[in-house]
């Protein structure tokens, strides 16, 4: 089973060469699912959304997309406050939860972006616990040995070593809920750097996985995307980066799954401690400030 995660393309500031390389990779290696975890645009302008719409039409299906904070009208304050996802809905689709189910794989999206909030930095994330609960109820109705994925824009908990924070209201509560209910992977963007972290709840085998950006707005890591190769025993995460001439492997993580069926092909079963050693730098998930 293969899932490709892209994030933070930021049309209006996209890295055209990196984006074309990523698109070619997906076209040549069609996965079981493509998930785009927000910030398709830079400023939420109609011309940026048109570019995003044309690009998404090139991506193999099945495809799930969720909005990011930049997908609201960044500079049109009345529209951003009153109808933050009007343009997203027009060009991309509903900003609310979307779903994909097939044998062995179940995915849901959760919109953590807001156009306005009662705090100074409105671009930070927020979770509706009602929607989070509905998503986890749906996804956990399937057998525990089938992969369960939630996609949203903001990391639900802060990841040490990343250059920006998600600041997600109710993020830790949602993260604990997902861990306690047996979600396998939570895919996010926003920080523009790839990471893979075991969340500190439940059995320690729910993983937060973040993708880099495909824009020129890099934060210490070249533009790139993630490929998840999922076996019965392991979620392998490969972060690819564009080096201006080619796609190269930037980081690799191997994350043990909680429910390897009897008789699964033997793979090294990593302990939680070994996972933390492997992921080095951004290796701890902490409570939002």
Q: What is the pLDDT of residues 46-85, one digit of tens each?
A: 999 999 999 999 999 999 999 999 999 999 999 999 999 9
In angstroms, how far is CA 187 from the centroid of its own chain? 3
Cβ pair 241, 226 in contact under 8 A: no
Q: pLDDT tens across 225-278, in order?
A: 999 999 999 999 999 999 999 999 999 999 999 865 455 444 444 443 334 333
pLDDT value for 77: 92
pLDDT at 213 over 80: yes
Domains of the chain with bracketed CATH: 2-286 (3.60.21.10)
Sign of the torsion formed by the C-alpha atoms of 84, 89, 95 and 96: positive
DSSP 8-state secondary structure symbol assigned to residue 182:
T
pLDDT value for 273: 36
Q: pLDDT tens across 39-52, in order?
A: 999 999 999 999 99
DSSP 8-state secondary structure symbol assigned to residue 14:
B
**Spatial separation of the C-alpha atoms in residues 69 and 87, rounded to whole Å:** 13
pLDDT value for 161: 82
Half-sphere exposure of 93 (CA within 13 A, CB side): 15
pTM tops 0.75: yes
**Spatial separation of the C-alpha atoms in residues 277 and 289, rounded to whole Å:** 25
pLDDT value for 247: 95
Q: Provide mean pLDDT across the span 115-143.
A: 93
Q: Is 289 exposed, middle or buried (0-12, 13-18, 19+ CB in 10 A)?
A: exposed
**Spatial separation of the C-alpha atoms in residues 168 and 161, rounded to whole Å:** 17
pLDDT value for 193: 95
pLDDT value for 267: 45
**Spatial separation of the C-alpha atoms in residues 64 and 92, rounded to whole Å:** 11
pLDDT at 112 over 50: yes
Tell me the β-bridge partners of 188.
210
Q: pLDDT tens across 166-207, in order?
A: 899 999 999 999 999 999 999 999 999 999 999 999 999 999
Bridging pattern class, strands 63-66 and 99-102: unpaired
């Amino acid at each position: 089973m293969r899932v490709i995660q892209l994030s933070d393309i930021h049309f209006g500031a996209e890295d055209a060469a990196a984006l074309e390389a990523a698109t070619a990779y997906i076209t040549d290696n069609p996965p079981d699912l493509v998930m785009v975890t927000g910030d398709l645009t830079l400023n939420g302008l109609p011309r940026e959304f048109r570019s995003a719409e044309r690009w998404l039409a090139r991506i193999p299906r099945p495809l799930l997309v969720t909005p990011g904070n930049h997908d609201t009208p960044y500079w049109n304050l009345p529209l951003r406050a009153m109808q933050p996802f009007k343009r997203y809905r027009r060009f991309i689709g509903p900003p609310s939860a979307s779903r994909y189910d097939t044998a062995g794989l179940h995915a849901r999206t959760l919109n953590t972006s807001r156009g306005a909030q009662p705090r100074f930095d409105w671009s930070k994330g927020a979770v509706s616990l009602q929607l989070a609960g509905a998503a986890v109820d749906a996804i956990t109705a399937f057998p525990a040995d089938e992969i369960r994925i939630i996609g949203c824009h903001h990391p639900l908990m802060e990841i040490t070593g990343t250059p920006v924070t998600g600041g997600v209201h109710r993020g830790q509560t949602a993260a604990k809920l997902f861990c306690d209910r047996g979600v396998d992977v939570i895919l996010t963007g926003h920080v523009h750097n790839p990471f893979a972290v075991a969340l500190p709840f439940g059995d320690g085998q729910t993983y937060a996985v973040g993708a880099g950006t495909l824009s020129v707005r890099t934060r210490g890591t070249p533009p790139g995307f993630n490929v998840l190769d999922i076996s019965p025993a392991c979620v392998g995460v490969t972060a690819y980066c564009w080096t201006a001439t080619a796609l190269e492997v930037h980081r690799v993580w191997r994350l043990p799954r909680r429910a390897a069926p009897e008789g699964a092909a033997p793979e090294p079963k990593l302990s939680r401690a070994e996972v933390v050693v492997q992921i080095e730098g951004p290796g701890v998930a902490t409570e939002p400030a």
